[in-house]
Structure 1
């Protein structure tokens, strides 16, 4: 796959007519013009299909001050969401509706606070160096239902109760119709879903997609989360991407498998290249090692983007002994390392053609994550950053904190404020966000302040009569 480049005017007109014809053939009556806010939350306007040209050329208008992180106030000019012709897709669960991703404009200029526009900027910078970023997310999520003011696992048959429910047949069977709907609908939308399973926690599921370029991989994750939210309602459930909805169960991630390719040939640059020495003993090229070196150097700042909500840090807590769950494992890195096919690593190489980043939370904004990935990884390539020796043959979770530090592993931030302060000091990672960085930092500090004013029942129970 190659980087996503802007369509030439003549090609755009051809594409426009092809999309128009396709919408007519499918009986589409309405278009959802969709973009995301700074959190990665989807925002839409519903437009009659007769207004197709309007949303392509001018865009659907939004009040930017009504959306988080857009750098606009109530006095600002309209935010115009213009549909990307390459992203039109019919919604299988609402077959008279097509959805299209939008890029945001203000006063006819691309708006730099738009997460999708910002990722396109970073992909263009990467392309100038001759590279394309390809990948795919593995979104984990829970099916839950409301229980008064609390939530509980969606378990209509009362059988999803095992301590180690991962891949369990019975647990899978009661959710089979839901997972089949997701697979069928996702593949109708071009996802290339090839596996689904019951994950490590009760009520938790994971879906695996095909690879694509970085922009459309991000689009796909947003649309997947939208789809699961709609389909789950059919079964009386809520699909939640809260990273850690239950304190005794494994959290949900959005593991990212990625590689970089040569822009012109499309060849994957991560396997050893012809005549190249196997520098770290992983069968991985120097380009791949340097890219990961950049990610590791900047990992504390990246974590603010990979785990953007306070709850995300419930997943990555560390201690002298590994914080455990009912199943016995968290499956989440708390220290930064890289190595071979070993799920206790942060960056594992399951094969010579890719790395997996196991740190991102299920609540990640994928556009922002891939933008900072490029910034940090490119710093690694340009400056030939050496990440040190690869960690192989070790269960990192069983090592003491001192042993991990002696191996050069960096402790990930243990709360949102710590991560945001690391981001604030990292000019390379901030450059990947452009002006979004200041909005993000301001918003996250405000969230932390609000959180710290909240008194929890745990605090009262523990300290009411302590002194």
Structure 2
């Protein structure tokens, strides 16, 4: 929908009784205010006004937003995102619309993650006529409650297994239908490597639409799982000894309306722009992961083994490097950054990936030679000889890298950068001072 009039017609046609004005906090967690649609001429006038001008809310209780003395804020709906929620009753339906956050002076709020991504994209468009496309692959676990009240994988299947081993066929089918009703172009769904682990792939799009989709994707899956008495989790490493969940991000940039990563005459058929973009990602990788892998648990996944993308190198077919260039060429030429996990805020994750890649393009960096050998099989001495470094081993080390990265700091903006660092350092301190079950079992006998 491109106009308030079209939105009004959609609401009336679909008998919408509540509209969720949705936005995200600094973690990427969705928040909303439910607006009741009122009958009669006065109700229509009020609805028109809210859709056109926005809805006031108190931002002081949203983590990473504002203090209590400057709490009044405005949610301005992006009417293109208005959609009925397929899991709610159809006779009195509920819709959601994704919003941008504004101050009461009418300016975009600098702490809004969606606004942050839009700001970086606008600058890219202004300077280079650029567009940024992303296709993420968020993995997740479906869990069931066992007799002891613990949440365990809901099936024992493995990669690409079929029923009856794959106990997730039915829930994945419901997820696909719901996503399609929400406007997703679902490309495939399948069981993943670990027990209870799944993946549903949807088509790439521009970065803002894709980030919106990731948030909607997670909400949809969690809701449908809960309706079945199950639990869906996007926790990066919920279980020891089996693979964790990643969110590989395929990405490309277009310049002046044309794809910029393909060059038929170049080595690997990859353009200088593509090689510089890859070099930028690799150059900033140690800082990027603070945002793309933003939890203490993220670094339980980013460890050697379990096919973890920890090695700062690039390759073509080789999936043991942190950046891979998939086989398609022409308009389909893209790179795949394999480090991110689905606990990240997609708006901020896409912001820092683009900023890092563009920094490589602007500085005309040259990517090192691809590493086509299995890095997972290399010893630390072999990796050192090849010049292959690893991402930070924990959240604190990643935050320290981010604090010293002026490129990513500028992309995130002062407000988000400072709040993100403060909140995540507090998270690390909470973890660092906690006593875990492992420690009790290991040391209580001392």
- Shorter-chain TM-score bucket reads over 0.9
Query: How many Å separate the matches in 1 of 2:183 and 2:320?
Result: 32
* Deviation string, structure 1 residues 172-198 (Cα, Å, up to 9, x no partner): 652222111111111111110111011
Give the alignment partner of residue 222 of structure 2, picking from 226, 229, 242: 229
Check whether the contact 2:287–2:405 (CA below 8 A) recurs between aligned residues.
yes
* Deviation string, structure 1 residues 406-433 (Cα, Å, up to 9, x no partner): 2222210110000000000000011111
Does 2:432 correspond to 1:452?
yes
Query: How many Å separate the matches in 1 of 2:103 and 2:216?
Result: 24
Query: How many Å separate the matches in 2 of 1:136 and 1:338?
Result: 18
Map 1:51-450 onto structure 2 (within 5 A): 51-70=46-65, 72-94=66-88, 95=90, 96-107=93-104, 108-128=106-126, 129-147=128-146, 148=148, 150-155=150-155, 160=156, 165-170=158-163, 173-262=166-255, 264-265=256-257, 267-272=258-263, 276-278=265-267, 282-318=268-304, 322=305, 330-351=306-327, 352=329, 353-392=333-372, 394-434=373-413, 435-450=415-430
Query: How many Å separate the matches in 2 of 1:377 and 1:101?
Result: 27
* Deviation string, structure 1 residues 32-60 (Cα, Å, up to 9, x no partner): 11111111100011112345434433323
Query: How many Å separate the matches in 1 of 2:290 and 2:174?
Result: 34
Out of 405-414 and 296-305, give the one that drifted further.
405-414
Query: How many Å separate the matches in 1 of 2:79 and 2:389?
Result: 43
Query: How many Å separate the matches in 1 of 2:311 and 2:204?
Result: 27
Point out where structure 2 has 5 or more consecutive residues left out of the alignment: 39-45
Check whether the contact 2:137–2:200 (CA below 8 A) recurs between aligned residues.
yes
The verdict on how the C-alpha distance between 1:172 and 1:355 changes in structure 2, with shifts beyond 3 A counting, is: farther
Check whether the contact 2:318–2:371 (CA below 8 A) recurs between aligned residues.
no
Check whether the contact 2:277–2:357 (CA below 8 A) recurs between aligned residues.
yes
2:238 match: secondary structure: coil
Query: How many Å separate the matches in 2 of 1:116 and 1:207?
Result: 23
> How many positions carry a matched residue from both structures?
428
Check whether the contact 2:139–2:245 (CA below 8 A) recurs between aligned residues.
yes
Point out where structure 1 has 5 or more consecutive residues left out of the alignment: 1-11, 323-329
Check whether the contact 2:310–2:321 (CA below 8 A) recurs between aligned residues.
no
* Deviation string, structure 1 residues 347-389 (Cα, Å, up to 9, x no partner): 1111231111111011011100111112111110010111211
1:232 match: secondary structure: helix
TM-score, normalized by length of structure 1? 0.88
TM-score, normalized by length of structure 2? 0.92
Query: Could you tell me how far 1:405 is from its partner in structure 2?
Result: 2.5
Query: How many Å separate the matches in 2 of 1:38 and 1:172?
Result: 39
Out of 52-61 and 206-215, give the one that drifted further.
52-61
Query: How many Å separate the matches in 2 of 1:236 and 1:404?
Result: 46
Check whether the contact 2:263–2:269 (CA below 8 A) recurs between aligned residues.
yes
Check whether the contact 1:34–1:44 (CA below 8 A) recurs between aligned residues.
yes
Aligned-residue CA RMSD (Å): 1.7
* Deviation string, structure 1 residues 270-296 (Cα, Å, up to 9, x no partner): 1116xx432xxx221111110111111
Query: Could you tell me how far 1:210 is from its partner in structure 2?
Result: 0.6
